[in-house]
Structure 1
């Protein structure tokens, strides 16, 4: 009988199930969405909470030292203390996997410019956005828990929020908060607009982005959200890790931690305490930081009552005794050091579109918290409520059991202090790379900081050992200047600029027995004139050729040379068939000017022209140096935007080197004064040592102090640090007048870096950055890092990663240069076509 009854019940239940199918468990998002309205930048929740949203701009990662982190930490503490008790500060940092989109339509359309765009196209990196939501809970509202959340219940707007005075006071407190975080000098903030929060037809708003974990650049789409059997939002597989209990916290915390990859035995490189969970976590994720400002009096009163209860129970349990002592220590610290009690919660929401990557993402997130010495806890049951509370304006729904009690000072250590590198807004600059990912950046190290008053001149000194990538970087720097229309004069030793000069069609002067170096200072182009400056430069040249440094010249000799030049150019204007050069000038002195001196009865003691002609004869045709001053090609140096003078073969020549150096310097001075409204750059490579030996030290001092006034800059490049340290000229003439210092790999000088630091005037922060250069490079990519110091105030390390085309154009390796020239010779010396053919073969 009993068995028959069971069979009947089973049949009836089956019939009922067929008639009444299972109830649909799906919930309409519109019915349970916690945000009621957005108006005037204020977000109103259905529970009556008011939230003001801010977009926050943080300092760049790897640019701060210990003191900077402590200052930022103190700034956050000071700002949060002005907020009323009960306020919830929800800081939300988005890190979204993006890729660089090349611009093939605008910008630099040259061969190397387009090759660089192709090289960097689709370069992956983490894009960072930072938002801050300050929430005032509705008065009288019950706090949320994991069991009771507005994800599970729907309430009407509470009448307590209709209070204009309290709303105005809250708005004023947020304004004070904004002002305080800006006064620290590291952080900027802007109020979010209604459109940024809610979005429009073309652009997704923050609410939609956070709800569906989609950045504003993604295509608009609505997707399902499910938490069982696994958490999915559309096609994204999501996971959450949190720090929500005292047991999860690290034993020690602070504003910064040591980043071992960039540290040395002498320096401890700093990053933010929570950096492992932010930019150093390489996956799509959101780092949520909740801090609830507690009422100090009420909190301490409740804790005092708790301490008394634990005291009475301490004899019955060791756990009660430990809890009593911990509570007592908390109360003592709060009262003695005026600490602000808060509740806090921190979590990471990470996602991936590929199920096979979920394990790797989980491992990365766990490792991120472990690097902070925190216990990573994966949220499963509480994930829906925490995700819901992370929506902008819904921080009031954060479950109370997911918060832990601490002080404001400790809670602020877990905030994210940094963002990724940012491009300059200046139209002028060069391309360098982000240190984290290599993402290309537009960097201005001249004009932008000059306008800001960070530097007072554009002069630069570049220091790097052999093989540090110095020549590659300098080629790229000069090419960038050329793209922006600058005039560049380069004094080189070593042939580093052959490929660049050929590509850009510049003038390249070098000395070989078959093709000796040639100039023509007597030639005056169509855009030039025989003004006072030109005459003075020719007088200086002639006196320099005639007299030694130890010899003096008198006033009459100076006047005689001046008259000779005046009469020579008068004769040229009357006889256009005469070609201006040293030969014709020498012949003029032999015949025409000799007659003038005889007619004026100028005596030898006043001007010994016979001696002058004898001394200058080696430069006249048939003489040993007749090639030097009689060039008939590459004459228009004033209008030529790139001039490279290779001094390697003559740097030790007692006659040629001083003369060539003098010619180049006078040529640049002429450019500097006559080419108006255009940037002028002179680059002195290792030639500066020979220049100093040739008595040009005073000229170098003059050049470095004067070039700024003519929209110019002088750049000195060296690799011998011993020369820098031992040369007073370098210190007085170059370093003191170069506000931009560019240092490449100096790791081999780590043990004697203090001398270099003192000479260059580097701070301890600068020392940490310099010694971190190339310390942890990605072996899969070919690049070098460089340190840039601007006026001792702005210091950063960048990557320089050339495209394959740039590498072969700028290479200084002899075997590689020969290969490039060999390929170019197949196309009539065309370097561009040669490099293309070489890369095709490779």
Structure 2
């Protein structure tokens, strides 16, 4: 029985022949250069930057020869986040964080550019001459060697202009990326299946008049192919109202509504057809004369005459190039009901661009076929409209979704549009690329903006990647995280120092695991004893400095000889009163040069039996050099005249010791509001020294503050910390809206960065619990991210007293098992909804 069904094979109709020398060759002798396009991340470009991007496209298009087609194709594919659960020795919080985002839907963006050298005849063909309607594909015009060479030169120049713009990057696609391999689909296979999933199986194509289907995917197509459907005015960028304020504007490209803001599977095709501009204008001149002669018979002819004359006047007045253009949005779905909603969404998106939504049901098949990479020559000419290069380029999308940093080190933040985790390196890669010159960070945010939450999230990930983290806090913000680390390491790490009457803070500045006392260790001991001995307004004499230095050095020599002696302040005090006093007598050191009795009397409160004998005589043999997570909670003693200076010296000594001795290991010191107390107590020089030199030792200093006045009125922060912190992190600044001009001036922020910062938390998704944060690197790179975590991480990071008490109370009942307490509370909260 004879088969009468209208079925043919894809092979017989397929318009492409081969790929040679990096160019796709069609069966009609068109040649096409294929590029991957990298665009700026969404919400990161300012109005003037969109103008630069638009100008770069314009200059690049002007280099192309006649009868070229520029086809920009943007894919927006729905995907689901796959958690990274295969990490060896992953912490409990890492696993819970990844699990929180499991299957989180997001829209992935891929952008391609195809530049095709076609012919005059091909570019005039209509839909009934598409290769879909032909039996045999034979070129009528051949591409000679000279034309091909000129085209290749023009493409190279096009690529260079775009890459030199600094905002758009073109990367030439090779044969494997376009055609695919045995193991991986290429771009052509992806287009013919409308899927980036590597299944390797083609599906049937149903190219009907009423419905077009690829496998189970049903397509709907909206076109912009008539000037009547276009807005009266276009530009490179438009204001995005949802993230704008009365003091700042958030800018997106003009075509952004049909880009990432359209949350469904879709493809946005943008075509520019480079005709012979002079020939086009001559044709319009003839048409204008005809319309003029017929205008008395029809008002429509009169209107058309006026439109044509305006077009010609524009072209001649501004030396504009006449081209044709076309734009279409191709969306699809497996579900008919969902497709109906998608049609409405696409129509609404086009309406936001002030375009007239036109659902095309006639040329869907031919437009889909012309969209095959390298087959733009098959485009039906009746679907295009005449315009100029400048307005046509306004319809190009100019942003992509947030991209992962190509760096092994970094932290996870969330894409502010969809909430997908993004790998972000704000330390190493920016240093390598010269964006920043140091890794220091300055964090500013009012109370309740989520500073401690962000810093918990950051230092947890730093610690998990091998960093030595030292935290100076004034509010128990890191107690939960520290206890978790202590539990994970079975007490070997996660050291928490705090002061209570029952368990006062205690150290042993003379103890080291290996009994190595380098110059930094000796100097810190001398500084500590000098602080205890002399007041701020009582500088030591040169003789006193020498005597103290000798006493410390001799005691250290004594420790090296007598290994049975446990080093501590009591031992030092006894050594000075007994052995060192004899040495002074032998040297006949005068009392006025070094008053030993006065020295011992002043230090007696720190000797056994004294008021502060616990402070420097800890019986815990603890060398903080090897501990990777240390918290000093100094809220209870920040106003104590005796204890606070001693503690701050020990904190600085611990970190400087790590800086000097831990070669090739990352270090971080994070000082919360405590920096104000440290700066007030004469320790400003330590801060200045650290912030300027820590970069030389693979380290970074992080200062966190919440008061604007702290920045403005503190010369230490203003001159040293801000100037030496190339990474600035700001949280919700709406409380400081009326004073933001001062902050902007102080931090040296641009107007673009001001707009980004003031957009924080302006359009948060109510279905997700998160707060946004602005991160700026070196004054040139900046973006807003979301700090979103799972319930387990939230319970570990929270600074809410009631929630923290609940966790610690249950942990106490479980024998100190903070992880077990968090798991149980999280499970109860999830089950209760």
Query: Does TM-score exceed 0.5, indicating one fold?
Result: yes
Corresponding residue for residue 133 of structure 1 = 114
Corresponding residue for residue 500 of structure 2 = 512
Matching residue within 47, 54, 66 for 2:28? 47
Matching residue within 317, 321, 335 for 1:336? 317
Matches within 5 A, 1:392-541: 392-505=373-486, 506-526=494-514, 529-541=516-528
Could you report, residue by residue, the CA deviation over 1:303-329 in whole angstroms, capped at 9, with x for unpaired residues? Answer: 111122222223333322222222222
1:145 aligns with 2:133: no
Matching residue within 145, 155, 175 for 1:164? 145
Cα 1:725–1:475 change in 2 (3 A) is same
Looking at structure 2, the residues matched to 381 and 298 of structure 1 have their Cα atoms a distance apart, in angstroms, of 30
* SS of 1:129 mapped into structure 2: strand
Please, which moves more after superposition, 555-564 or 101-110? Answer: 101-110
Could you report, residue by residue, the CA deviation over 1:677-721 in whole angstroms, capped at 9, with x for unpaired residues? Answer: 111111110001111111122221111111111111110001111
1:744 aligns with 2:731: yes
Matching residue within 666, 672, 693 for 1:706? 693
Corresponding residue for residue 608 of structure 1 = 595
Looking at structure 2, the residues matched to 452 and 735 of structure 1 have their Cα atoms a distance apart, in angstroms, of 21
Instruction: Please report how far the alpha carbon of residue 826 of structure 1 lies from its aligned counterpart in structure 2 after TM superposition.
Output: 2.8
Looking at structure 2, the residues matched to 597 and 270 of structure 1 have their Cα atoms a distance apart, in angstroms, of 75
Could you report, residue by residue, the CA deviation over 1:553-588 in whole angstroms, capped at 9, with x for unpaired residues? Answer: 111111111121122223333433332111121122
* SS of 1:799 mapped into structure 2: strand
1:793 aligns with 2:780: yes
Cα 1:140–1:230 change in 2 (3 A) is closer
1:544 aligns with 2:531: yes
Please, which moves more after superposition, 271-280 or 138-147? Answer: 138-147
Corresponding residue for residue 3 of structure 1 = none
Corresponding residue for residue 576 of structure 1 = 563
Could you tell me whether the CA contact under 8 Å between 1:205 and 1:216 is conserved in 2?
A: no
Please, which moves more after superposition, 595-604 or 732-741? Answer: 595-604
1:109 aligns with 2:90: yes
Corresponding residue for residue 681 of structure 1 = 668
Corresponding residue for residue 597 of structure 1 = 584
Matching residue within 259, 275, 294 for 2:240? 259
Matching residue within 266, 269, 278 for 1:297? 278
Q: TM-score, normalised by structure 2?
A: 0.96
Looking at structure 2, the residues matched to 340 and 634 of structure 1 have their Cα atoms a distance apart, in angstroms, of 80
Cα 1:140–1:343 change in 2 (3 A) is closer
* SS of 1:24 mapped into structure 2: coil
Cα 1:200–1:623 change in 2 (3 A) is same
Please, which moves more after superposition, 668-677 or 568-577? Answer: 568-577
Could you tell me whether the CA contact under 8 Å between 1:99 and 1:122 is conserved in 2?
A: yes
Instruction: Please report how far the alpha carbon of residue 746 of structure 1 lies from its aligned counterpart in structure 2 after TM superposition.
Output: 0.8
- What stretches of structure 1 of length at least 5 have no aligned partner? 1-19
Matching residue within 690, 705, 716 for 2:677? 690
Looking at structure 1, the residues matched to 681 and 335 of structure 2 have their Cα atoms a distance apart, in angstroms, of 67
Count of residue pairs the alignment pairs up = 822
* SS of 1:288 mapped into structure 2: strand
Instruction: Please report how far the alpha carbon of residue 166 of structure 1 lies from its aligned counterpart in structure 2 after TM superposition.
Output: 1.1
Corresponding residue for residue 9 of structure 1 = none
Corresponding residue for residue 4 of structure 1 = none
Could you tell me whether the CA contact under 8 Å between 2:243 and 2:762 is conserved in 1?
A: yes
Matching residue within 191, 198, 205 for 1:210? 191
Could you report, residue by residue, the CA deviation over 1:178-207 in whole angstroms, capped at 9, with x for unpaired residues? Answer: 111111011112222222222232222222
Matching residue within 356, 362, 369 for 1:375? 356
Looking at structure 2, the residues matched to 531 and 21 of structure 1 have their Cα atoms a distance apart, in angstroms, of 95
Looking at structure 1, the residues matched to 539 and 116 of structure 2 have their Cα atoms a distance apart, in angstroms, of 82
Could you report, residue by residue, the CA deviation over 1:71-91 in whole angstroms, capped at 9, with x for unpaired residues? Answer: 000000000000011111111
Could you tell me whether the CA contact under 8 Å between 2:184 and 2:200 is conserved in 1?
A: no
Corresponding residue for residue 544 of structure 2 = 557
Looking at structure 1, the residues matched to 643 and 184 of structure 2 have their Cα atoms a distance apart, in angstroms, of 67
Matching residue within 741, 752, 765 for 1:778? 765
Cα 1:640–1:160 change in 2 (3 A) is same
Please, which moves more after superposition, 201-210 or 451-460? Answer: 201-210
Corresponding residue for residue 490 of structure 2 = none
Looking at structure 2, the residues matched to 82 and 628 of structure 1 have their Cα atoms a distance apart, in angstroms, of 76
Could you report, residue by residue, the CA deviation over 1:593-636 in whole angstroms, capped at 9, with x for unpaired residues? Answer: 22222232222100011111111111112222111111122621
Instruction: Please report how far the alpha carbon of residue 58 of structure 1 lies from its aligned counterpart in structure 2 after TM superposition.
Output: 1.4
Please, which moves more after superposition, 660-669 or 593-602? Answer: 593-602
Looking at structure 2, the residues matched to 446 and 179 of structure 1 have their Cα atoms a distance apart, in angstroms, of 30
Looking at structure 2, the residues matched to 198 and 579 of structure 1 have their Cα atoms a distance apart, in angstroms, of 73
* SS of 1:316 mapped into structure 2: coil
Could you tell me whether the CA contact under 8 Å between 1:108 and 1:483 is conserved in 2?
A: no
State which structure, 1 or 2, has the greater radius of gyration over its C-alpha atoms.
1
Looking at structure 1, the residues matched to 731 and 108 of structure 2 have their Cα atoms a distance apart, in angstroms, of 27
- What stretches of structure 2 of length at least 5 have no aligned partner? 487-493
1:629 aligns with 2:616: yes
Instruction: Please report how far the alpha carbon of residue 764 of structure 1 lies from its aligned counterpart in structure 2 after TM superposition.
Output: 0.5
Instruction: Please report how far the alpha carbon of residue 128 of structure 1 lies from its aligned counterpart in structure 2 after TM superposition.
Output: 1.1
Corresponding residue for residue 16 of structure 1 = none
Could you tell me whether the CA contact under 8 Å between 2:732 and 2:772 is conserved in 1?
A: yes
Corresponding residue for residue 489 of structure 2 = none
Matching residue within 161, 164, 182 for 2:163? 182
* SS of 1:717 mapped into structure 2: strand
Corresponding residue for residue 388 of structure 1 = 369
Looking at structure 1, the residues matched to 92 and 86 of structure 2 have their Cα atoms a distance apart, in angstroms, of 13
Could you tell me whether the CA contact under 8 Å between 2:19 and 2:25 is conserved in 1?
A: yes
Instruction: Please report how far the alpha carbon of residue 753 of structure 1 lies from its aligned counterpart in structure 2 after TM superposition.
Output: 0.8
Instruction: Please report how far the alpha carbon of residue 795 of structure 1 lies from its aligned counterpart in structure 2 after TM superposition.
Output: 0.5
1:96 aligns with 2:77: yes
